[in-house]
Amino acid sequence: MAAIRREAILHYGVPRWLANCVNQPRFLPLLLLLPCLLLWLAAWVRGPLERYFGASYTPNHIVISYWSQLPQWLLIVLFAPFVLLDAVVLALGVMRFWRGLKACDREAGRTGGGQSLIASIRSVSRSIILHEDFDRCTAERPRMNSHRLVLFGFLGLLVVDLWVLTARFNPLLRDAFVYPFNFWNPWKVLANLAGGAILIGCARMVRDRMPRTGRTGTLFTGTSFDWTFLGLAVAAVLSGFGCELLHYARVDPLRYVMYVIHLATVFALLVLLPYSKFAHMIYRATAMVYAAHSGRQPLGGLHETG
Amino acid sequence: MKPARPPVWLFPAIAGVIILSPFAYSAGRFAWLSMFPPKPFLQASSSSPSQRCVRDPGWMRQNHRVFLYELRDKTVRDGIRSEVTLSSCSQCHKDKTQFCDKCHNAANLHPDCFACHFYSTTNRPIVLLQGGP
């Protein structure tokens, strides 16, 4: 299952050479160096850009940037084009994947018989939230909680990020001060709990993926495809907690270094989303929706594990 | 007998409550503040009506950090000394605990201005390490 998933992501990632690079460990230092260089370049052009547009750095009274060298507007300008590009690449990949699934069914002579698209999306969303497929698979059930911790952890962080990113347009906030959060602010508490959930989930996944010998005597070591994603997720969360601790301790030059590391890992995690294991949340969901929509039945005895 | 497994909806339900609770907090806070607007808690200026802040007080409330940084840069980097200093603030706002600390503490901010600067209320710069009287 993991091998099929990896091949599907590599196959549908555009451009394919980038998908291949992302999943080779020897290119990993380069992939982390690239965002560091981009961030350095962004900090370097900040001054000239502000002079050109006739503005000086003024902290927004709702969100005060963590580091004045990398203010919020600069990070949004830097990240937004890549996130949009991600969305385009994923949309193209999903469309090709969907067409591929349809062509396969057509060749096999299977036609229709499933739910409508909206009903399929609804039932699959329910299934993903409840982890029903994971729950049915008795062999992989111990991994279900790790997966749930990571999934809901990322959801929690997404919600907090969106709250801060949209603070200026949020009618509930108006002139309220938003960021940096107080430690006991419910949004900060959610971010810390979500980070902790990802960390615990990833630690359990690392434990499950440690090299082991299977029943048939085969040695399972996992692939770089799995380890890269797991490593980046852990690095992003640990550097995030590092930033928080160094910020509270006011360790001044070091907290900015940690911030750059955090942004670089988040950049690698998000911008390389369509080419890394992270993309399985889109492709797997697409496959499930297609199965419900086309009326495909799961293969006897072979329950997939999400 | 094996203990019964918790229902499959329990974990997502707990996660959902945790993820959605900050929204409830923010919406509740918004509704509360709309009904009972907060009273200003900053210490009122003790200056006479003829004396005004060097900038619009509303602007200063949000941007005093930028203002002070600009003053610092002008003084330290360009050598241009201004008559406005932290001591000027203290002429009207005497009590630092009410004027600076109350807001900073509420927002969990710990500016390091006063690691070096003294919030003088006498309008006389305090000179340290002068080498005796």
> pLDDT tens-digit profile of A274-283?
888 888 888 8
Report yes or no: A145 at the B interface, CB cutoff 8 Å. yes
> pLDDT tens-digit profile of B58-89?
788 778 888 888 888 888 888 888 778 877 78
Q: What residue of B is the nearest CA neighbor of A197?
A: B15
Q: Which of A130, A159, A177 sits opposite B9 (nearest CB)?
A: A130
Mutate to test the interface with B, among A56, A129, A252 (most CBs of B within 10 A): A129
pLDDT of residue A191: 96
Of B86, B107, B90, the closest CA to residue B43 belongs to: B90
Residue A21 has pLDDT above 70, yes or no: yes
Ranges A92-106, A151-165, A243-257, B61-75, most confident: A151-165
Q: Quick one: pLDDT band at residue A165, thresholds 50, 70, 90? A: confident
Residue type (1 letter), B8: V
- How far, in Å, are A84, A98, A122, A234, A302 from residue A285 at the CA level? 20, 11, 11, 24, 18
CA distance B53 to chain A (A): 20
pLDDT of residue B23: 93
Of B38, B43, B40, B39, the closest CA to residue B98 belongs to: B43
Tokens matching residue A24: 């080779």
Can you name the residues that pair with A220 across neighbouring β-strands?
A: A212
If residue A220 lies in a helix (H) or strand (E), which one and from where to where?
strand A219-220
Q: Which residues of B touch A (CB under 8 A)?
A: 8-9, 11-12, 15, 18-19, 21-22, 25-27, 30, 62-63, 65-66, 107-110, 112
Q: Quick one: pLDDT band at residue B103, thresholds 50, 70, 90? A: confident
Number of inter-chain CB pairs under 8 A, A vs B? 63
- How far, in Å, are A15, A31, A263 from residue A85 at the CA level? 12, 17, 18
Q: What residue of B is the nearest CA neighbor of A146?
A: B11
Lowest mean pLDDT across A81-90, A183-192, A246-255, B111-120:
B111-120
Using CA atoms, how far apart are residues A124 and A143, in angstroms rounded to an integer?
20
Residue recorded with tokens 């340290």:
B128
Residue A170 has pLDDT above 60, yes or no: yes
Overall size of chain A counted in residues: 306
Read off the pLDDT of each residue in B97-101 and give the average, rounded to a whole number. Answer: 82
Chain centroid to CA B25: 22
Q: What residue of A is the nearest CA neighbor of B61?
A: A61
Q: Average pLDDT, whole number, for chain A? A: 83
Q: Helix, strand, or coil here: A219? A: strand
Using CA atoms, how far apart are residues B80 and B84, in angstroms rounded to an integer?
11
Q: Which of B15, B25, B107 sits opposite A182 (nearest CB)?
A: B107
Indicate yes or no: CB of A177 within 8 angstroms of CB of B22: no
pLDDT of residue B47: 57
pLDDT of residue A200: 96
Q: Which of B8, B15, B21 sits opposite A152 (nearest CB)?
A: B15
Q: Is the peptide bond before A35 cis (omega within 30 degrees of 0)?
A: no
Q: What residue of A is the nearest CA neighbor of B106?
A: A182
Query: Percentage of residues in chain A with pLDDT exceeding 90?
Result: 29
> pLDDT tens-digit profile of A175-228?
667 787 888 889 999 999 999 999 999 999 998 888 777 666 676 666 777 888
Residue type (1 letter), A126: R
Q: Quick one: pLDDT band at residue B21, thresholds 50, 70, 90? A: very high
Lowest mean pLDDT across A35-44, B4-13, B28-37, B103-112:
B103-112
Q: What residue of B is the nearest CA neighbor of A156?
A: B19
